[in-house]
């Protein structure tokens, strides 16, 4: 567990996503959960000695299974954007570890079996502020990686958790994304309002300005390639041809090549179908 500021922590050792925790006399405000319920319980236990009060609240930065599968095991009130809550309403009550290979991290965790989802109990549509002490936490709707994607901003400590907006050394999840919105959110994050902030990626911990620039260039490139396919009315299957070239732009360990290639393959195909060959009005999942 790494301390970013007084009573603000991140944890990047569990499979899944980078976790956050903010300690206060009232209790713990948690940011995301590991996909494994067992790891969620371990994470809870590791936070018992940070001097927090008895209450707990969990913020889900979007609806991705990697950050929401273990939410029930956190055993606390859950907050998310309304579009994330809507995504849960469209899911079965129970998650089963089978189906499409999406390139998600939970797919490499053995023994998950069936897990009951924990939908958010509190949701919002634009922004929300949590006042648990004299350092409020601002939740900001910033769609891009998903329709319900949010940031958790701590202005007093100049820290912002941005979920899957920026990823370290791995391709993005595209199936529920909106690339123009993603580009605008990255530009905002690179602007003057966030100068001096510690930026916490949902997959890889803190990131620097170079990582933001690389992410922006990569998302622009992906959007350009998909727009060109759409302009000639190419079939969704042609997105497969983009995978190898796009993957070469990431410093991917050899052991993860197949996994990340599948992430791009699945995401590109589903993004292309949803944005250029839509069959329904869904904007997430």
- What's this model's pTM, rounded to 2 decimal places? 0.92
pLDDT of residue 136: 95
Q: Token digits for 137?
A: 């936490």
In the structure, what pLDDT confidence band is assigned to residue 253 with cuts at 50, 70 and 90? confident
In the structure, what pLDDT confidence band is assigned to residue 284 with cuts at 50, 70 and 90? low
Q: Is 153:163 a contact under the CB 8 Å cutoff?
A: no
pLDDT of residue 281: 44
- Please give the mean pLDDT across all residues of the chain: 91
| pLDDT tens by residue, 74-117 | 989 999 999 999 999 888 877 776 656 888 888 888 777 778 88
pLDDT of residue 248: 86
In the structure, what pLDDT confidence band is assigned to residue 251 with cuts at 50, 70 and 90? confident
CATH of 2-210, one of 3.60.15.10, 1.10.20.60, 3.40.250.10, 3.40.718.10: 3.60.15.10
* Nearest by Cα to 55 from 22, 84, 11: 22
Please tell me the distance from the alpha carbon of residue 234 to that of residue 33, in angstroms, as a whole number: 39
In the structure, what pLDDT confidence band is assigned to residue 159 with cuts at 50, 70 and 90? very high
Please tell me the distance from the alpha carbon of residue 156 to that of residue 11, in angstroms, as a whole number: 21
| pLDDT tens by residue, 197-207 | 999 999 989 99
The secondary structure element, H or E, covering residue 222 is helix 209-231
- DSSP letter assigned to residue 70: T
Please tell me the distance from the alpha carbon of residue 242 to that of residue 240, in angstroms, as a whole number: 5
In the numeric block, the tokens 């966030």 are attached to: 194
pLDDT of residue 15: 86
Please tell me the distance from the alpha carbon of residue 109 to that of residue 259, in angstroms, as a whole number: 13
* Nearest by Cα to 30 from 65, 75, 93: 75
Surface-to-core class of residue 234, CB atoms within 10 Å of its CB (0-12 exposed, 13-18 middle, 19+ buried) = middle
In the numeric block, the tokens 């927090």 are attached to: 52
Please tell me the distance from the alpha carbon of residue 199 to that of residue 166, in angstroms, as a whole number: 9
Q: Exposure pattern of 163-179 as b/e (b: 16+ CB <10 Å)?
A: bbbbbbebbbbbbbbbb
pLDDT of residue 90: 86
Q: Name the residue ranges covered by the structural domains of the chain.
A: 2-210
């Amino acid at each position: 567990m790494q301390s970013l500021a007084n009573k603000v922590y991140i944890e990047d050792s569990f499979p899944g996503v980078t976790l956050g925790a903010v300690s206060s006399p009232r209790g713990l405000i948690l940011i995301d959960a590991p996909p494994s319920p067992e790891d969620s319980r371990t994470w809870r236990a590791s936070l018992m000695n940070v001097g927090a009060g008895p209450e707990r609240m969990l913020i889900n930065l979007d609806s991705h299974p990697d950050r929401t599968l273990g939410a029930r095991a956190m055993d606390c009130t859950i907050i998310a954007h309304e579009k994330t809550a809507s995504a849960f309403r469209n899911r079965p009550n129970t998650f089963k570890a089978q189906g499409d290979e999406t390139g998600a991290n939970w797919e490499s965790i053995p023994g998950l079996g069936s897990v009951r989802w924990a939908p958010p109990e509190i949701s919002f549509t634009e922004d929300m502020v949590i006042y648990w002490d004299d350092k409020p936490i601002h939740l900001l709707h910033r769609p891009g990686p998903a329709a319900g994607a949010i940031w958790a901003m701590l202005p007093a400590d100049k820290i912002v958790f941005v979920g899957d907006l920026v990823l370290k050394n791995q391709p993005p999840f595209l199936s529920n994304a909106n690339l123009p919105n993603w580009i605008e959110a990255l530009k905002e994050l690179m602007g003057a309002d966030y100068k001096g902030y510690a930026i916490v990626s949902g997959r890889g911990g803190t990131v620097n300005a170079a990582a933001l620039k690389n992410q922006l260039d990569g998302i622009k490139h992906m959007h350009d390639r998909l727009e060109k396919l759409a302009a000639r009315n190419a079939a969704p299957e042609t997105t497969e041809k983009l995978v190898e070239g796009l993957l070469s732009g990431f410093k991917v360990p050899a052991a993860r090549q197949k996994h990340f290639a599948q992430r791009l393959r699945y995401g590109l195909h589903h993004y292309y179908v949803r944005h250029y060959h839509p069959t329904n009005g869904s904007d997430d999942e």
